[in-house]
Amino acid sequence: MKTLLLTLTAVLAGLANAAPVQAFLTTADQQRLLAPGNVARPAAGADAVIRIDPGRQHQRMAGFGAAITEGSAWLMRHGMSEAQRDALMRELFTRDGTGLGFELTRLTIGASDFSRRHYSLDDMPPGRTDPELKHFSLAPEREDVIPAVRQALALNPRLQVMASPWSAPGWMKTTDSLVQGQLRPEFYGAFARYMVRYVDEMKAEGVPIFALTLQNEPHFEPGDYPGMRMPPATRAAVVGQHLGPLLKARGMQTQILEWDHNWDEPWSPMAMLADKTARQYVSGVAWHCYAGDVSAQSQVARQFPELDVWFTECSGGEWKPQWAETLPWMMRNLIIGSTRHGARGVLMWNLALDPKYGPHLGGCTDCRGVVTIDPKDGKVTRNIEYYAFGHASRFVHQGARRIESEGGADKKTGLDHVAFTNPDGGTVLIVSNSAAVPRRFTVQAPGQRFGYELPASGVVTFTW
């Protein structure tokens, strides 16, 4: 009995001396937006208990962020004053003050639908080819994209940059066009050299590319902007026989990520990775959100546990403008779901768009950026995506480990959660409530125990 009392006293003393917990809340009515607040003592009648186990560690995090598309870069450079742009870039890419601290971004190799014109980096007149890439040029990217990425890197040297083509140059394709078509087998090697040339020249511009995907959304051929169908066998042939060996022979550290498409077709990356020659050059699998379920990430990871998982694209849009619906969806699927299913990095699509959901040429007509910039006056509107990602990017630092959190996350409670340990030893817990009513829960961690009531459709990040 005496031993039990001494133990209980020690536990209570430890909790009394626990590090202070900070809470940052966003509510669906937008009355609280990443607003600091307090936690409470655990109370009776909690809907759930969330238990944190730092001893059970999972993937190491690379970061959160969004794509610097040509449209986003142009808008930030031409739709704002220099002072406005500098302030926004600092807010997005540092943690100064209340900055988001984005540590990951994605570039398009040539044009996407969010470009003001359709182009590749080696365009030729119809009927002409350039297999030696004599006409390759980064000139289109030097206009706005490269200056924007350089500024982001100057603000945050830890920023990691990946890149994806929406199409090979038209002359490499069956359509002789950037729109639709497939890569012609005689140009597999030229396409690999095109990708390596891009990495080389971007590095010379001061923009290191840490990872490439072979093709954005390889099972989709849009009818009004650059795209290219690339089935698993083609991807395996290009990677295994051309791009992989070329990177290796050059001693380049740039990684190759497979797939870069939706959750609904896990069979496709598994088919490509079944090619052992190609597999040896692949370091990870990249995913998009537009179809299927986030659990597909784990389905593939179980078959290829040695590969990293990345989440590389999702866009919010005016098809789901309601905060009470969209904020919990983004948290459940992107910030929480994607990382719980192994993602080392999580990316939104456009970093910035204008009030007309552009600039774009073809493709999505009502996509939102993380922020909206009005080019009339440079005014910035911070969108749902800004706050959803801010609940992670501001607090989870590059090099953090996802750690085990369990309990209370089910359809009945509407609670979803994920936890991390930062490199400095601090703990981050993100909890989302998709229920239509407030939920009370208790958090238990080594040396820590507290309670909280999370409003309906709200999100909270705890740090200690």
What digits encode the pLDDT tens for the residues 394-453? 999 999 999 999 998 777 899 999 999 999 999 999 999 999 999 999 999 999 999 999
Q: What is the pLDDT of residue 361?
A: 97
Domain ranges of the chain: 18-59+403-463, 62-395
- Which H or E element spans position 36? strand 35-37
Give the E-state strand segments of 267-370 in sequence order.
282-288, 308-313, 343-350, 352-353
Q: What is the pLDDT of residue 103?
A: 98
- Which H or E element spans position 84? helix 82-93
Residues 405, 418: contact at Cβ < 8 Å?
Answer: yes
Q: What is the pLDDT of residue 434?
A: 96
Which two structure tokens, joined as six digits, stand for 256?
A: 């190759």
CATH classification of 18-59+403-463, choosing from 3.40.50.10470, 2.60.40.1180, 3.30.2090.10, 3.40.50.1100? 2.60.40.1180
Q: Which residues contact 129 (CB under 8 A, 6 or more apart)?
A: 171, 172, 187
Task: Find where tokens 């192994």 sit.
Answer: 342
Q: Hey, which residues does 453 pair with through a beta bridge?
A: 440
Q: What is the pLDDT of residue 45?
A: 82
Q: Where are the alpha helices (DSSP H) in 357-399?
A: 384-393
Same fold, 18-59+403-463 and 62-395: no
Q: What is the pLDDT of residue 241?
A: 98
- The fourth-level CATH superfamily of domain 62-395 is Glycosidases (3.20.20.80)
How many Cα atoms sit within 13 Å of 231 on the Cβ side?
Answer: 4
* 3-state helix/strand/coil string of 45-57: CCCEEEEEEEEEE
d(CA 110, CA 175) in angstroms, rounded, equals 17
Residues of the chain with pLDDT under 50: 1-16
Q: How far is CA 321 from the centre of its chain?
A: 20
Q: Which of these, 58, 111, 3, lies nearest to 419 by C-alpha position?
A: 58
Q: What angle do CA 420, 20, 400 make, to 5 degrees?
A: 15
Q: What is the pLDDT of residue 411?
A: 77
Torsion angle of alpha carbons 239, 242, 248, 252, nearest 10°?
-80
The pTM for the full model equals: 0.95
